Structure 1
Amino acid sequence: MTPRVQLLTHSYWPERTAPQRRWERLVASLREDGWAVDVVAPAANKHHTPVHHREQGRFSLRPVIGPSGERVHRTPYVLLRNSRAGRFASDLASGVLMVPRALTAPKPDLVVATVPALPTICAGWVVARARRIPLVVDMRDAWPELAREAEVRAGPLGRLMEAAVISVQRRAELVVTVTEGFAQRLRERQVSPVETISNGVALDQVPQLDQRRRAPGELRLAYLGNHGESQALERMIRAVASIPRDQGLDVRLRLVGSGTQKEQLRQVALATGALASGAVEFCDPVHGDEVWDHYRWADSALVSLRTDWASFAWTVPSKTFELMGLGKHISAAVTGEAAWVLGHAQNVTYLSGDTEQIAATLSQLAADPDSTPVDPRGRSWVAEYADLPGLGTRYAALLAALRAEAHR
């Protein structure tokens, strides 16, 4: 009998997001391994979907066939305010709608529910228990630690959310994390079994970029990704704004993407004069080859996480592997496991300390045109340890073992 798995996720093809990239490639590996796959996901969010693909992501009562032959079952997407509370309410509505949609699809051998949309794993638990089949929880973020540090724990809803996460983690037949540090934290909380399948990138879709020739004093930084609380981009804006342009330094920061903090970041850039001077510019989210065009413009690619939240010591942004694959110089404001991973790239400059220290580091990079070299060693490391096809093969083996155990 053909093995069948059902995936519950808040973001899937044809969207272009970090969870979508991970799971679209993992699903392809499962299909190659002989699995039938049903994906239950909300209708595509237009803000994360290329215009010419939006029709494929619309809600429909009938499942549609995905890029690897998987069947995609859509629920309506409830679009609320682009804020923390609004996004959580949207995710909560999607999680509720996922349950009946999943239960009317063919019965699988296993259910996989993935965060960061927290209500999704609660929906997964309901479906798995109703079907009496094993549940796999795929933890892309360090919950509930991240909730505490983001101060979303306050009030009855926050406490209920934290209790739900811990309960589902302990009751799942398997928990998969993307970092070994968080896996160890879960084991210390008596969550078992826990396995690690890191984030990664499909290297065959990532070009190797050349180094831009630049004059002394010039430096271009490009950040592509979420503009949220976790990224602490305000410190980067203030650092770039504080660099004196009358001393022969021309440091520019390009921020590409969207998020709950984007308008606040724009106000910071406006207040510091960085917008008027051109030191900071904001661009809308892009897809496909336009992504690489922004990195070609840059001398260094920026990856940034808050360093004052302990949970980020065992968090590795999924963008990390893409940047390593490009071969471009990387400016990194990260700690812990993310810094360890980036250490294999050999052409990384770490941005630490306060705004003044970050500005000083960027000024030093700008002064030396040879300080931002291209280096292939990061791509070589990704090819061995974080290429998504290989990670997909490992994931398929984990699910096959769990299915065999359940059938016994």
Structure 2
Amino acid sequence: MVSSLPRDIDAVNLALPMRLMLLTHSYWPEHSPPQRRWVSLTREFRRAGWNIDVVAPVAHYPNGRRNLPRREAGFAFAHQRGPHGEIIRRVPYLRHLGTSSLARFVDQLFSAVMSVPVGLFGQKPDAILATAPSLPTLATGYVLSRLRRVPLIVEMRDAWPDLARDARMVQGSVKSLVERVVEFVQQRADLVVTVTDGFAATLRDRGIRNVVTVSNGLDLSSIPFLEPPASDREVFQALYLGNHGKSQRLDVLIRASALLGDGFHLTLVGHGTSRPQLVKLAREIDAPVTFYPSLQGAEVIDKYREADTCIVSLRDDWKSFETTVPSKTYEVLAIGRHVTAVVRGEAERIILEARGGDVVSASPEAVAQLWRELAADRSRLTSGASGREWVRNNADYTKLAVRYMQEISALVRPEKAVPQERGQ
């Protein structure tokens, strides 16, 4: 991970602040993974004097339609000020049913095409950064970087195109159009940024010439550290917050809770394409599960406070997930709750290194057995501050942003670059 970062932005020798164009399929005021990452990074970039132009659709995540007042969501082909003074240039979107993967892709494709003319307006940036997994955004970044003749930075927040094959979006040995487009852009980008060391190594093995890691993270100062759960609770409470999709295999957790019955309860918070099937499954097997929609702010902290253990989960039959770390991992570690980690690879390494909880295989029986043991010996739920300290040293956005600015500065103005150590 990032271990040799300067402690603050003042440590970065950026004689001439830059103008960065960010292409993303979701941004403030939405609540989404790219929004959480890039609002935090943008804040630090702006503190260093950088100008940020964000090109993003009118806010409509996650339901495929505008859920906010027009003044907040933005107007197509107009611009607005973001929370840190950045300029957000809005593009139109296609209204759709949020649970349809195909409709969501068509929407992203439409917005990506509309982003090309929008990205040609305004002052010329020093570099263009396109963040995936919205794959059409990568193509937009490539086109705009060539039209405006500036370096292209591609940020891969998921392990594409590997994930496409694991998810059976790609069949057989012949490469799909998706794979070819992603690899085409990756190979021609001036810099590829990954969020895990493992996927960075994979790309280097494929001959991608300039790859660095800037992991996901959080604003540690905004996350409280909770006292351990009470030792005399009658019901063992397990909590999952996040996406309800195929990647998470949350059916394993529901089946585990059904095996345990009385004295155990599972809370699932969030949304996703698999949620209707998960609700149906819980009802059919009479599992002690409560579903909540996505929550924000104090409501999330309340759920953490009620929990004995918090779950991070990725299915173990997709090889690409060996180099994937669920972004919620950092939040659970920082808040001080025991982690039930149904993960492998790099995510497993982080949990064990941070001494944040237990890693368990993705089977209902294994998860149920772990929860029985934790309920019988509640002293194991006191994970201490080691997880928070790990986050402080490796995943605090105030430090991650410094690393990012160093990398962009070295790309755009190599003569002014500050020597630094890169993870391999």
Normalising to structure 2: TM-score of the pair? 0.89
Paired with 2:189 and 2:343, the residues of 1 have a C-alpha distance of 31
- Is 1:187–2:200 an aligned residue pair? no
Question: For the Cα contact (< 8 Å) 1:216–1:367, is it kept in 2?
Answer: no
Paired with 1:317 and 1:114, the residues of 2 have a C-alpha distance of 17
Paired with 2:236 and 2:21, the residues of 1 have a C-alpha distance of 47
- After superposition, the Cα gap between the structure-2 partners of 1:55 and 1:222, relative to the gap in structure 1 and judged at 3 Å, is farther
* Partner SS, residue 39 of structure 2: helix
Q: Which residue of 2 aligns with 1:253?
A: 266
Per-residue deviation, residues 106-140 of structure 1 (Å, max 9, x unmatched):
21110000011111111100100111111000010
Superposed displacement of residue 244, structure 1: 4.2
Paired with 1:286 and 1:244, the residues of 2 have a C-alpha distance of 26
1:59-138 equivalences under 5 Å are 59-81=75-97, 82-138=99-155
Per-residue deviation, residues 28-82 of structure 1 (Å, max 9, x unmatched):
1221222111000111125479977774123243311111111001112223232
Paired with 2:370 and 2:234, the residues of 1 have a C-alpha distance of 13
1:193-232 equivalences under 5 Å are 193-215=210-232, 218-232=235-249
Question: For the Cα contact (< 8 Å) 2:74–2:80, is it kept in 1?
Answer: no
Superposed displacement of residue 367, structure 1: 2.1
Superposed displacement of residue 363, structure 1: 1.4
Consecutive unaligned residues of structure 1, counting only runs of 5 or more, are: none
Question: For the Cα contact (< 8 Å) 2:322–2:345, is it kept in 1?
Answer: yes
- Is 1:386–2:403 an aligned residue pair? no
Structure 1 stretches of 4+ moved >6 Å: 48-54
Question: For the Cα contact (< 8 Å) 1:152–1:158, is it kept in 2?
Answer: no
Paired with 2:127 and 2:362, the residues of 1 have a C-alpha distance of 46
Paired with 2:71 and 2:269, the residues of 1 have a C-alpha distance of 24
Consecutive unaligned residues of structure 2, counting only runs of 5 or more, are: 1-15, 418-424
Superposed displacement of residue 158, structure 1: 8.0
* Partner SS, residue 357 of structure 1: helix
Matched residues, number: 399
Question: Alignment partner for residue 55 of structure 2, among 26, 33, 40?
Answer: 40
Paired with 1:53 and 1:225, the residues of 2 have a C-alpha distance of 25
CA RMSD of aligned residues (A): 2.2
Superposed displacement of residue 320, structure 1: 0.7
Q: Which residue of 2 aligns with 1:349?
A: 358
Question: Alignment partner for residue 17 of structure 1, among 32, 41, 60?
Answer: 32
Paired with 2:205 and 2:310, the residues of 1 have a C-alpha distance of 35
Question: For the Cα contact (< 8 Å) 2:409–2:416, is it kept in 1?
Answer: no
Q: Which residue of 1 aligns with 2:317?
A: 308
Per-residue deviation, residues 300-330 of structure 1 (Å, max 9, x unmatched):
1111001111111110111111111101111
Question: For the Cα contact (< 8 Å) 1:80–1:89, is it kept in 2?
Answer: no
Per-residue deviation, residues 145-176 of structure 1 (Å, max 9, x unmatched):
00000111249x98111100000000000000
Question: For the Cα contact (< 8 Å) 2:19–2:51, is it kept in 1?
Answer: yes
Paired with 1:216 and 1:222, the residues of 2 have a C-alpha distance of 15
- After superposition, the Cα gap between the structure-2 partners of 1:269 and 1:54, relative to the gap in structure 1 and judged at 3 Å, is farther
- Is 1:29–2:72 an aligned residue pair? no
Q: Which residue of 2 aligns with 1:151?
A: 168
Paired with 2:157 and 2:129, the residues of 1 have a C-alpha distance of 13
Question: For the Cα contact (< 8 Å) 2:198–2:323, is it kept in 1?
Answer: yes
Percent identical residues:
43
Superposed displacement of residue 390, structure 1: 0.5
Paired with 2:236 and 2:100, the residues of 1 have a C-alpha distance of 33
